[in-house]
Structure 1
Amino acid sequence: MTGSAPRGRGSSLEPLGKRESLRDRVRNALRAGIISGELAPGAVYSAPALGARFDVSPTPVREAMLDLVKEGLVVSVPNKGFRVTEVSEQDLDDLASIRLLIEPPTVREAVPRIPPGDLPALRELAQAIVDAAERGDLIGYIEADRVFHLTLLGYAGNRRLADVVSELRSQTRLLGLIPLLESGRLGRSAAEHHALLDLVEAGDAPGAEAMTHRHIGHVRGLWAGGP
């Protein structure tokens, strides 16, 4: 059955970076929609339907979806559109375990390398997550969260590691985000990003590592609808 593009929450296509092309923006929004579950696992979506949602032509949507095929997030269905890939519970457990091995120690390594002059820009990225939560924009939340964490990890100076984490994050599903938003608890989770930056600003690398570990735990627990 071909799914219609969901409307309402997260339907805007606001750029997070001035250098992003339309194709990049559409791809990032579609990826976030898949991760949050707004684009349902197993459902098939056509490029025209998704283009209507984002108020763009089907062409950049089709191009973006082909990029997501390479990432394994969707598969092409001839004459129908693209089917969102389903991820098993075991897959989610494995993804969370790998992220816990990689990200917390990398954040610890990054903390002493972050120049104090960069903190205001990092605060802006953290605030973008809070703002998206406050307006109920799940797609904006996921994308802002992705930009924040990959930027933070980038200070460790290992580009390949950041690429691996980006791929792991793309494969994650946060199907618990909608009930989290509806319960009013998403804002508290968003605020953790400022708390993490408080530790960074204080030069507390072990504390930042511990908070990152706890934060990722939410991905597999509360955020993903797991235990």
Structure 2
Amino acid sequence: MGDPKQFTLITAQERLRDQVAHALRAALVAGELRPGHVYSAPGLAADFGTSATPVREAMLDLAREGLVEPVRNKGFRITEVSERDLDQYTELRALIEVPTIGRVTQLATVEQLEELRPGAEEIVTRARDHDLIGYLDADRRFHLGLLALAGNERLVETVGDLRKRSRLYGLTRLDERGQLVASAEEHLELLDLMVAGDTAGAQDCMARHLGHVRSLWAQARDVPVEPHPRHRLGSR
């Protein structure tokens, strides 16, 4: 058996790494970390009130998700996503998700669909509470949960990867304008149509939702986001 103290230390290090990664994702979503800019691990560590090691480890996690890229001897650059990239990601998602939603509407039981209702309601709640990271997490779980009912794990993985690469920019601005709640409520509309067995309606709703999300990206990118001081880990 290994040393219990060593195991406890490793667990604590992993937990800190996860906390830092969560904080970095929050800063990305809020627009505090800007696309194209290079940030050093020591500099970010000072902002977050921690050492540089968990920041580097967390940044490597984000690099695997395509959110940042290492820059030798400098730190990490926040990856830039062009309008063309966003258009292509949206097109791919529509090609996959719209027909899959139609198939799930036909195949899934009402019980299976209703199990996802708390997730759809959580998206709306998170939007109303201005919890942006919680909103994105609930949104991801709901969409991937619906797609999982089609029984194709690779399809779910593919859409999950597309979602990471087409992350929202300047979500804070959209939240301040109150536009996030309307987008969140579309998830309940989609679920109601699926429960009712309205295949065409569900597919149309999914297509509209993806179109709305794309337009939100465009609006967010058009409005500059003022930098905000990052909170130290553990602060509220």
Which TM class, normalised by the smaller chain length? 0.7 to 0.9
Identify which of 209, 212, 215 aligns with 2:203: 209
Identify which of 55, 63, 69 aligns with 2:63: 69
State whether structure 2 residue 208 is matched by structure 1 residue 219.
no
Contact 1:29 1:140 (C-alpha < 8 Å) held by counterparts:
no
Give secondary structure in 2 for the equivalent of 1:90: helix
Identify which of 71, 83, 86 aligns with 1:89: 83
Task: Identify which range, 72-81 or 120-129, moves more after superposition.
Answer: 72-81
Q: TM-score, length-normalised on structure 1?
A: 0.77
Following TM superposition, by how much is the alpha carbon of 1:151 offset from its aligned partner in structure 2, in angstroms?
A: 0.7
Instruction: Give the match for residue 110 of structure 2.
Output: 116
Instruction: Give the match for residue 166 of structure 2.
Output: 172
Instruction: Give the match for residue 99 of structure 1.
Output: 93
Identity %: 55
Contact 2:114 2:195 (C-alpha < 8 Å) held by counterparts:
no
Cα distance in 1 between the residues matched to 2:185 and 2:61? 32
Give, as a single letter, the amino acid of the residue that structure 1 aligns with 2:139: D
Give, as a single letter, the amino acid of the residue that structure 1 aligns with 2:193: L
When residues 30 and 215 of structure 1 are mapped into structure 2, their CA distance, relative to the original with a 3 A threshold, is farther
Unaligned runs of 5+ in 2: 1-13, 223-236
Q: TM-score, length-normalised on structure 2?
A: 0.74
Unaligned runs of 5+ in 1: 1-20
Instruction: Give the match for residue 182 of structure 2.
Output: 188
Give, as a single letter, the amino acid of the residue that structure 2 aligns with 1:68: L
Following TM superposition, by how much is the alpha carbon of 1:45 offset from its aligned partner in structure 2, in angstroms?
A: 3.9
Following TM superposition, by how much is the alpha carbon of 1:36 offset from its aligned partner in structure 2, in angstroms?
A: 5.9
Following TM superposition, by how much is the alpha carbon of 1:77 offset from its aligned partner in structure 2, in angstroms?
A: 3.1
Give, as a single letter, the amino acid of the residue that structure 2 aligns with 1:168: L
Aligned CA-pair RMSD: 2.9
Following TM superposition, by how much is the alpha carbon of 1:167 offset from its aligned partner in structure 2, in angstroms?
A: 0.9
Quick one: higher RCO (CA 8 Å, sep 6+), 1 or 2? 2
Give, as a single letter, the amino acid of the residue that structure 1 aligns with 2:87: D
Task: Identify which range, 63-72 or 166-175, moves more after superposition.
Answer: 63-72
When residues 189 and 49 of structure 1 are mapped into structure 2, their CA distance, relative to the original with a 3 A threshold, is farther
Task: Identify which range, 50-59 or 176-185, moves more after superposition.
Answer: 50-59
Cα distance in 2 between the residues matched to 1:52 and 1:115? 51
Give, as a single letter, the amino acid of the residue that structure 2 aligns with 1:85: T
How many residue pairs get aligned? The number is 207
